[in-house]
Structure formats: C-alpha cells, structure tokens
Amino acid sequence: MSKTSQATPSPIMTVTPTPVDRSAARGDQFTGVCTQMHDFLVSDYALVSLPVTFDEEGGYLEWLGDAPKQADKTAWIATEFRVYTRAEVTTSMVALAGFREHANKAFQEKVPSYTSTEAHVLDMLSHEHEVLNGNNKGNTRNLVAHGMGNIRKFIRDNRSDIAVMAAVQKGEAYYAANDPTQTAYEYEGQARKVWVRNEFNVRDAKTGKVVTSWFEGKTTDEKKAMKKAAVITRTPSTDVQATPTPTATVEAPVQEEVKLTVATISSMPSITVRNIAKDKGAPQSVYTGAGATMNSITWLMTNNHVSLS
C-alpha cells in the first residue's frame, strides 16, 4: 500500500463511552445520547452504534443491558451497543414527536406537530433546555432528552392501565384485602405491597401523612415476611373491613415516683408536702388548716409512705 493511500472509513459512527449517572434524572442521563444522534445526522455516516433501544410506539430511549448495581450507578459505563440506520433514528424521533402534547411546554413550542423528516429531526435534536424548577434547577439538557421523560411516563401509565383492565376482564387481577378502594393490580407483588402499607404504615393522626413507613428499621427477612403475610384476593370485595390505620401518638413520659424519706420530705416546700399527703389519700383535715405541713408528714410516716432512709 502506498504512503498516499488511505484506509476505507468505517460506515458506522461509534462513540467513546463516557460515565453516566444512572441515579440522575432521565433528562440528564440521555442528553449525551441525544447529542450523539444529532452529530450522527449531521455527518455522512450511514450507521451509528448507540447504547440504547427505542420504544416501538413512543420512540423514547431506554438503556441497553441490565440495570447497574447501586454501587455502580453514579459512574455507569455502557458495554452494550446496537447499530441503527439514519432511517431508524429518524423514525423513532418522529414517533416521539407524535406525543409532543404530553411533553413539557418548551418541547411543544420548539418541536412542531408536522415533524416527519430527517431534517425536522435534526432540528429537533438541536435545542438545549435549562431546567427552571425543582431539584435539577439550572441543569442544561438536550430538549429531546428533557421532553421524553413525560412522554415515557404517559405511554407507560397508559399501557399499565390497559394491562390492568385486561387482567380484570380475565379475572386475573389482584386486590389487597384491606384496601378500602379495592384497586386492581396486574401483579401480585403490587397488591401485597399495598396491603403491607395499609397494615403497617404509621400516619399522623391529624394530617394523615405517613410518619413511619412499613419498611423502616426492618431487615430484608422481616420485610419478606410482612409481604408474605399479606392477604390477597383475585376478586374485589364489596365489604372491606380495613385495618385501622396506625397513628403516631406522643406518649407522656413515665414519671418515676420519688422515694420519700424523712430527709427528702423535710427539705420539700410546705405546699408540696401537703399535696403529696392529699394525693396519697390523707383526710382533708390533715393537709389543710393550722399545722398542715407537720400533720401531713406525720400522716405519711404513719401510713408507711415515708421511710427513715
């Protein structure tokens, strides 16, 4: 090969994996991938390798592979990739734009309803968005990454509702026996968790807010046992006898009785001595009138309420 010859460039655009905080908001997580898709459509590449899948209905992104362990979440690096054509990327983003009315206001304003071509998608991926409220205020994201979070939630919630309705029709839904609303759930584990919440969450008696969640201070085995004890049915009950919700109460501190001796009672104020005699059951003539203090001490000693030491 001559010195002037060049290697044929790869038809696949690849990206160098960078750490992603999988515990961050999805808008922050996927901004890098959205930027990569933008760069791909600007380029002459025919294919791109990305660490994500596109939802078939809504076009939103999901990471490839298993969710990382807790210790690896804040600096996760993708190891699985999938190759996409320009048409596949465009089609997915057009599908996402089709749900624009369920995204944030900025997405609706900058992504037109007629989005349908590669050029439209390129423009769609060109916008940045600054988060104005909440815990992530001040973060700058790709607008698509930001907007698709709400779209994803809408689609997933809708699918969940459809799945639950199908389960109810087939008689395969699950219900928590102590749930006054008798809400249907697609999965048994969901109903068990509701039963445990109703049974063991402690709520403020006035506000009704949870002050102690059922799992607090519990070991893994204890939590499993609590869920296992849940009473689950396959048909809704019309007469639910819900377990009274535990409420947080402030208990008065236990007042430890002071040991009465001749020394302690002799050092007490006269009114205190007379009140002690009254509380112990002395006749009114003892703790009132002339000589009431001495009479009270004498009565307390005679009735074994005061010891010598």
DSSP 8-state secondary structure symbol assigned to residue 299: H
Q: What is the pLDDT at residue 228?
A: 94
pLDDT of residue 284: 86
Check residue 44 and report its DSSP letter: S
The per-residue pLDDT for 80 is 96
Query: Rounded to an integer, what is the distance from CA 116 to the centroid of its chain?
Result: 37
Closest CA to 178 of 167, 193, 165, 188: 193
Q: Whole-model pTM above 0.75?
A: no
What residues have CB less than 8 Å from 77, skipping those under 6 apart? 17, 18, 19, 20
* Angle (CA) 47 73 34, round 5°: 30
User: What is the pLDDT at residue 226?
Assistant: 93
Q: How far is CA 239 from CA 45, 196, 236, in A?
A: 64, 19, 9
Distance CA(68)–CA(245), nearest Å, equals 36
Compute the distance between CA of residue 281 and CA of residue 110 in angstroms, rounded to an integer.
Answer: 84
CA–CA distance, 121 with 99 (Å, rounded to integer): 14
Q: Is residue 11 a contact partner of residue 46, using CB atoms and an 8 Å limit?
A: yes
Contact 146, 27 (CB under 8 A): yes
Cα 123 from chain centre: 35
CB-based contacts of 154: which residues, under 8 Å, 6+ apart? Answer: 99, 102
How many other C-beta atoms lie within 10 A of the C-beta of residue 240? 16
Q: CB atoms < 10 A from the CB of 29, how many?
A: 19
Q: How many helices (H) and strands (E) does the chain have?
A: 12, 12
Please report, in tens digits, the pLDDT of each residue of the chain (309 residues total): 334 445 555 789 998 889 999 999 999 999 999 999 999 999 999 999 999 999 999 999 999 999 999 889 999 999 999 999 999 999 999 999 999 999 999 999 999 999 999 999 999 999 999 999 889 999 999 999 999 999 999 999 999 989 988 888 899 999 999 998 899 999 999 999 999 999 999 988 888 898 899 999 999 999 999 999 999 999 888 766 555 555 555 454 444 455 677 667 666 777 888 888 888 888 887 788 767 777 777 677 767 787 655
Q: State both tokens at 245.
A: 């919700």
Instruction: Measure the CA dihedral 42/90/93/47, to 10°.
Output: -70
The amino acid that residue 116 corresponds to is S
Query: In whole angstroms, what is the distance from residue 110 CA to residue 120 CA?
Result: 11
